[in-house]
Structure 1
Amino acid sequence: MDGPTEVNVNFCRVDNGIVQNGTDNLEQQLQSFINMDFTERLSDQKIAMSVEDKRFMTMMEESVTKVHGHYETVLPLRDRAVKMPNNKVQADMFGLRLQRKLKTNEKLASEYTEFMENLEKKGYAEKVPDQDVDRNDGNVWYIPHHAVYHPKKPDKIRVVFNCPIQYKGVSLNEQLLSGPDLTNRLYGVLMRWRQENVAIMADIEAMFYQVRVRKDDCDLLRYLWWPEGNFDGGMKEYRMLVHLFGAVSSPSCANFALKRTASDNQHRFQDKVIESVINDFYVDDFLKSVATDEEGIQIYRDLKEIMASGGFKLGKWVSNSKRLLESIPEDDRAKELKGLDLENDELPKERALGVQWCVEKDQLEFNITKVNEKATRRNILSVMSAVLFTCKETDTDQRSTKPKTIPVCLTTTKNPTENPQTEISH
């Protein structure tokens, strides 16, 4: 008898029969249950693309071209025939709010103006030509924008475009396909970076802005700004020419262009260079380790060349090898390494994928800051997520399983996720 059967016994009923692959199924179910809370999966299994993700990839493959040395794609709209409402009145309203804020904060106004002017100077944006200003065919959208500062980089401003904002029930992000997650697993990038003796780190300058948007779609990326930062004058219309921060599709578009750079250059570079482009980036951060200084020097040269062929500039180079650093021009080195006496000075600490890298000793450090908030389950998980466990290879099993057990403990604690009145004992 292949199926389960039910048998009446004293006090209860018992189901019995043959269970096919019971242990394997239990392990898979347990792994799936645990992995629901963690993006860094233990398994290397590839998740099949959804129908929408396949549509996104088809759009990219069919539209991608090279313009002035950069890849150019369409905006991946869900419906190419979509008609957007005219939301200029909304952009005007947000512009007036921003104007009041900038007039009362001189430092913010100066940094904001410099950022916006650089968009035009570097070819990332342009003033809307007079003949296109009155375009009104449903293919125009105005995006409000605001400034953000990274907690770790308080002196560096970034202007983010508010693509999720709605007008009459419509937003730009809702019209865009987000695309598949083409980002490499952070854990894998970090582990490969620790394999060999010579560690290397670099950064793609303004990664999203290096991938251009097809001209027909640029009017969906309009914004308002004051020419030359004259806040007493009228706002003029501009439009982005590249994929921007804030658009839900930009990460996948940028990663598509990055991997396209690798595939388009397979005939020009060795396999290990192509594999580095495919596997050793986490978004715009490049981390790789090699066995010798000579390999590191060659990787620097090859990566600079292949990335430039895709329109990407790889800079802010750092390494624990002073010999490798000597071969890198100062302009290509990280800010903290410029002007450094490599023979006598100690290499400074750098941040690498959220952790502190002591470059001189080639060690990872963790700066633990006291959390002044009530210990809710959400806050505990937030602190845990900020720490990456990087141990020796012999500790792999312990390192992999320990973070998984803590959330299970939290589920048995009678403490609401968002109840600041209830504390967890430390």
Structure 2
Amino acid sequence: MREKDIDHKDCQNCDAALHITSDSVLELLLGIPEALRTFIYVYSEQCSDQDLSDDLHRFWETESIGIAEETQTASMSSLFVDLKYDWILGRYQVTLPWKTDFRPQGNGYEISMARLNQLRSKLQKDKSLFQQYDTTFKMQVQNGVIEHIPSKTHQDGCYFLPHHAVIKTDRETTKLRIVFDASAKANKTSLSLNDCLEKGPNGIPHIFNLLLNLRSHPIGLTADIEKAFHQIVIDPKDRDALRFLWIDDISKPRPEVIQYRFCRLVFGLTPSPAILTETIQYHLTRFLLKEPEMAELLSQSFYVNDLICGVQNEEQGIHTYEKAR
């Protein structure tokens, strides 16, 4: 913050306890030294600690207008999806949250085929990327994320999702991500798959609260659930709505188009974040009696699939790490 960011004359008659610029908030929360050295606190005799807290919360809510929605806490009695534990697979299984009397218009096959042809033309210019794309699907078949559909028939209830590649060259691990477009429409007036699914409640906590809690501890802990969306099983009756097209052999000049369908949750669906959040919260409730403190800590520290929390010392950090696993 520069001196010109604050007009001391304007502060003489105000009750505000803290004046900050919006571009410095994250720097403060993340602990950038320069931001910490240059922050100027202007206290008023009328201000209390509660005033400070309220000012900060009002500021963050203002900054989040149009971005963050009101947080709703998921509970076992108010889950918006049919969630159950599959003891054979050792995973949670959900049904898709369909809107009443809503189904996609058409099956999306034509737009998926057109997108597939465009995708192949691009991938053929980069053989390495083409191979990575194909290998990703083969690995997902082996891991039970997707399954091959031998028949080419499209019965009622089938829907095909277009997909494309997103390349992140700055990533050290996964540089290729395959993104599925559940918002694709055959035309401007038709309904997409996402149009027919409930978005679900926003159970994600405010990032402000998570960062503030992290900065209030001497030691920070971060982790994530690996391939979190793919850990959740889709009920078999909904899987045909999650079909997509690929080819049988990328080395063939004229490969055959084949069909797959998802057995696990797809990231591109509108309700996917809410489903993941509710599944995590539901899972943690199973440990409230056995490990109440740890269940409570984890319940308040997840931002989608990312864990962000803090501890007081190394011993507590190791304990949290071992219990959270």
Asked whether the two chains share a fold, i.e. TM above 0.5, the reply is: yes
Q: Say whether residues 1:283 and 2:307 are aligned partners.
A: no
- Aligned residue type for 2:202: D
Q: Say whether residues 1:163 and 2:182 are aligned partners.
A: yes
Q: Say whether residues 1:240 and 2:262 are aligned partners.
A: yes
Gap change, CA 1:80 and 1:219, over 3 Å in 2: farther
Could you tell me which runs of 5 or more consecutive residues in structure 1 were left unpaired when the two chains were aligned. Answer: 1-27, 305-426
- Aligned residue type for 1:164: S
Aligned-pair CA distance for 1:32: 7.7
**In structure 2, how many angstroms separate the alpha carbons of the residues matched to 1:273 and 1:40?**
33
**1:261 corresponds to:** 283
Aligned-pair CA distance for 1:152: 4.0
- The answer to whether the 8 Å contact 2:103/2:193 transfers is no
Gap change, CA 1:83 and 1:162, over 3 Å in 2: closer
In structure 1, which of residues 84, 87, 100 is the aligned counterpart of residue 121 of structure 2?
100
**In structure 1, how many angstroms separate the alpha carbons of the residues matched to 2:281 and 2:115?**
37
**In structure 1, how many angstroms separate the alpha carbons of the residues matched to 2:230 and 2:128?**
25
**1:142 corresponds to:** 160
Deviations 1:89-110 (A, max 9, x none): 2211111111111111123212
Aligned-pair CA distance for 1:181: 1.0
Secondary structure in 1 aligned to 2:175? strand
In structure 2, which of residues 171, 194, 199 is the aligned counterpart of residue 173 of structure 1?
194
TM-score w.r.t. the length of structure 1 is 0.56
**In structure 2, how many angstroms separate the alpha carbons of the residues matched to 1:136 and 1:224?**
16
**In structure 1, how many angstroms separate the alpha carbons of the residues matched to 2:274 and 2:196?**
15
Could you tell me which runs of 5 or more consecutive residues in structure 2 were left unpaired when the two chains were aligned. Answer: 1-53
- Equivalent residues in 2 for 1:9-408, closer than 5 Å: 35=61, 37-39=63-65, 57-60=78-81, 63-67=82-86, 68-79=89-100, 82=103, 84-130=105-151, 133-137=152-156, 139-150=157-168, 152-153=170-171, 156-168=175-187, 169-230=190-251, 232=253, 233-269=255-291, 271-304=292-325
- The answer to whether the 8 Å contact 2:166/2:179 transfers is yes
**1:336 corresponds to:** none
Q: Size of the alignment, in residue pairs?
A: 263
Gap change, CA 1:183 and 1:84, over 3 Å in 2: same
- The answer to whether the 8 Å contact 1:201/1:288 transfers is yes
- Aligned residue type for 1:122: N
Aligned-pair CA distance for 1:71: 1.1
Gap change, CA 1:122 and 1:39, over 3 Å in 2: farther
**In structure 2, how many angstroms separate the alpha carbons of the residues matched to 1:282 and 1:248?**
17
- The answer to whether the 8 Å contact 2:104/2:191 transfers is no
Gap change, CA 1:280 and 1:48, over 3 Å in 2: closer
- Aligned residue type for 2:159: W
Gap change, CA 1:108 and 1:182, over 3 Å in 2: same
- The answer to whether the 8 Å contact 1:90/1:167 transfers is yes
Aligned-pair CA distance for 1:251: 0.5
**In structure 2, how many angstroms separate the alpha carbons of the residues matched to 1:231 and 1:173?**
34
Gap change, CA 1:46 and 1:228, over 3 Å in 2: same
Higher Rg of the two aligned structures: 1
Aligned-pair CA distance for 1:264: 1.9
- Aligned residue type for 2:160: Y
- The answer to whether the 8 Å contact 1:84/1:141 transfers is no
Higher fraction of strand: 1
- Aligned residue type for 1:240: F
- Aligned residue type for 1:79: T
Secondary structure in 2 aligned to 1:261? helix
Deviations 1:218-277 (A, max 9, x none): 1000001123544531121000111112111100011111111111222332x2211122
- The answer to whether the 8 Å contact 2:169/2:175 transfers is no
- Aligned residue type for 1:242: R
- The answer to whether the 8 Å contact 1:70/1:211 transfers is yes
Aligned-pair CA distance for 1:40: 10
* Larger RCO, structures 1/2 (Cα 8 Å, 6+ apart): 2
TM-score w.r.t. the length of structure 2 is 0.72
Secondary structure in 2 aligned to 1:254? helix
**In structure 2, how many angstroms separate the alpha carbons of the residues matched to 1:41 and 1:106?**
39
- Aligned residue type for 2:148: K
**In structure 1, how many angstroms separate the alpha carbons of the residues matched to 2:320 and 2:282?**
19
Deviations 1:19-75 (A, max 9, x none): xxxxxxxxx9xx989945525999xx96679xxx99x95542xx2111212111111
- Aligned residue type for 2:163: H
**1:392 corresponds to:** none
Aligned-pair CA distance for 1:290: 1.2
Gap change, CA 1:125 and 1:187, over 3 Å in 2: same
